Structure 1
Amino acid sequence: MDLASATWTDVRDLESELAVVPVGSTEQHGPHAPLGTDVLTAEAVADAGLERVDRTVIRTPAIPVGIAEEHRQFPGTMWVSPDTFRSYVRESVQSLAHHGIERVVLVNGHGGNVDALREVGARLTRDGDAYAVPFTWFEAVGGHSADMGHGGPLETALLRRVAPELVREGRIETARDGAADGWGDWTSHANLAYDSAEFSENGVVGDPAEGEKERGEELLELAADSLARLLDAVAEREVSRPDGR
């Protein structure tokens, strides 16, 4: 069920305590990909995963702004502080739990949100507010995960599958020419850079030319299948907290 298009009576009469909350970011993704890439991909994976489960799951509107100050030099990028982000996600889930929707999968499309979402899930669960589990789609695509950059092959491929009209195909070569090979500037296992503009001329990491639509189809299948398995596991899990040892 799509929460945004449902009525309150629809939700009242629904026999489900499970929801997915897409979480993304509004930030630069190079000259060829939209600022909303992380929201679009999170929503697409969430929707594809829901098609694969034989149970009723509520799909909420996406959270569109995340922890993205590392892209602040690129116009159009929006961000909130980690504290604000954690509070917003936590309180959004608490509002669902108030109505009996007490199991939530946070479907994430932005790397900068990963740590905070894990913290939020732990806090909600340990406090007994809800059982919340974060799922980041590009960590759930097998060997492809090693190629995750930023506006690079994976995100470009998935965009070409789910929103091809938003990929500026005429700028792919420009994006490729200004891209960094990897994320950060590393010495002695320490990343010396805090902002993406320190190591990438145009904000891209990885080669977007390697993000073919066919690869995007495979990525969507892998991520959606993985999400469907997770939804079943979250729905069936015993979530009471262990006793003290």
Structure 2
Amino acid sequence: MKFLNSTAPAIRALDRQQTLVVLPTAAVEQHGPHLPCGTDTLISDAIADAVEAQAADCVLRLPTQWIGASAHHLRLGATLDCDLPTYIQLLCQTLQPLLEMGFCRFLILNGHGGNIDPMRVAVRQLQSQWPDRLLAAASYWSIAEAAIADRLTGEDKAVGHACEAETALILHLRPELVDTAAVESAMGWKPDAVEGMFICRDMKQRTAAGATGRPDLATAEQGRQMFEGIVDRVSVAVDRLLAEPLPS
């Protein structure tokens, strides 16, 4: 069930214990020279819609939270940002009314790397107040890691930024928004993990192009297969959360 399209009585009538509330999260920020600034939101929207369509009777799909924690992109411009304390509170306060309504199962389904740390803080804060609720958070690429890696042809086998994976997904979902003339290899970018250590670099320090990997290898067919694999794996994760015993 989509929250936006549902009446209040329909939402009030949902089974509080056997409905999974899904909050998709994303960002609006620069995505290199070739992808739209709304890339993360477009992908998150599409995944959440497809997952909800497969389980409409047990998933309550909230509107996608399009603003993200994107301060590390600001020096490249064309980026909207929510600072970390505000973003954490935004997530908590979005879910709070549904917790108060008695819903017991929640998944923050993320589509932007900068949201990972604050979303984990948010669910930790909520869990201390609501210890009898099941609170989960994950990026779609961590759930569907193998399904994504199997379809990437370049050296990088994970979702980066305006990379092969994101470019393929947008070529499948919204090809008219891709500036195909500007697509080029973005190799030579600096990672944020070295020898098991997190190195805090903003995106301009990591890549002058504002992109990573080999977007030039991406195809729409690759994106279609990847999207279907992601939706399948996220749907499995949804089933697992619905079957997971509630905390006591």
Query: Same fold per TM (> 0.5)?
Result: yes
State how 1:207-222 maps to structure 2 within 5 Å. 207-222=214-229
For the residue of structure 2 that corresponds to 1:104, the secondary structure is strand
Alpha-carbon distance, 1:74 to partner: 2.0
TM-score by length of 2: 0.86
User: What is aligned with 2:35?
Assistant: 33
Give percent identity, aligned residues only.
27
Corresponding residue for residue 203 of structure 2: 196
| Structure 1 equivalent of residue 52 of structure 2 | 50
Structure 1 residue 155 displacement after superposition: 0.4
- List per-residue Cα deviations over 1:157-190 (Å, max 9, x = no partner): 11111111211112113xx3xx243443777665
Give 1:231 deviation, angstroms.
Answer: 1.2
Counterpart contact for 2:110–2:138, Cα < 8 Å = yes
What is the DSSP-based 3-state SS (H/G/I as helix, E as strand, rest coil) of the residue aligned with 1:107?
strand
Distance 2:92 2:64 in 1: 14
Aligned residues: 237
Q: 2:93: which partner in 1?
A: 91
Deviating 4+ runs (over 6 angstroms): 185-188
Letter of the structure 2 residue corresponding to residue 200 of structure 1: T
C-alpha distance after superposition, 1:203-241 (max 9, x if no partner) = 011111122112211221221111111111212221224
- Alignment RMSD (CA, Å): 2.2
TM-score, structure 1 normalization: 0.87
Tell whether 2:18 aligns with 1:14. no
Write the deviation string for residues 116-147 of structure 1: whole angstroms up to 9, x where unpaired: 21222233233216422112112213063433
Of the three residues 178, 188, 194, the one matched with 1:181 is 188
Q: Deviations over 1:13-50 (max 9, x none)?
A: 33353211110011111011111111111111112222
* 2:11 partner amino acid: V
Greater alpha carbon shift after TM alignment, 32-41 vs 143-152: 143-152
CA displacement, residues 57-101 of structure 1 (integer Å, 9 cap, x when unaligned): 111111111111111112220111221111110111112222233
CA distance 1:226–1:37, shift in 2 (3 Å): same
Instruction: Give 1:168's aligned amino acid.
Output: D
Note if contact 2:28-2:41 (Cα within 8 Å) is conserved in structure 1: yes
**Other-structure match for 2:181:** 170
SS, match of residue 109 in structure 2: strand
Q: In the alignment, residue 162 of structure 1 is paired with which amino acid?
A: L
Q: Are positions 1:224 and 2:235 aligned together?
A: no
Task: Report if the CA contact (8 A) 1:124-1:131 is conserved.
Answer: no
Q: Do the aligned partners of residues 53 and 31 (structure 1) sit closer, same or farther apart at CA in structure 2, a change above 3 Å counting?
A: same
Select the residue among 109, 113, 116 that pairs with 2:115.
113
List gaps (5 residues or longer) in structure 2: 150-156
Q: 1:15 to 1:186 in 2, by over 3 A?
A: closer
**Using a 3 Å threshold, how does the CA distance of structure 1 residues 75 and 122 change in structure 2: closer, same or farther?**
same
Instruction: Indicate conservation of the 8 Å contact 1:149/1:183, yes or no.
Output: no
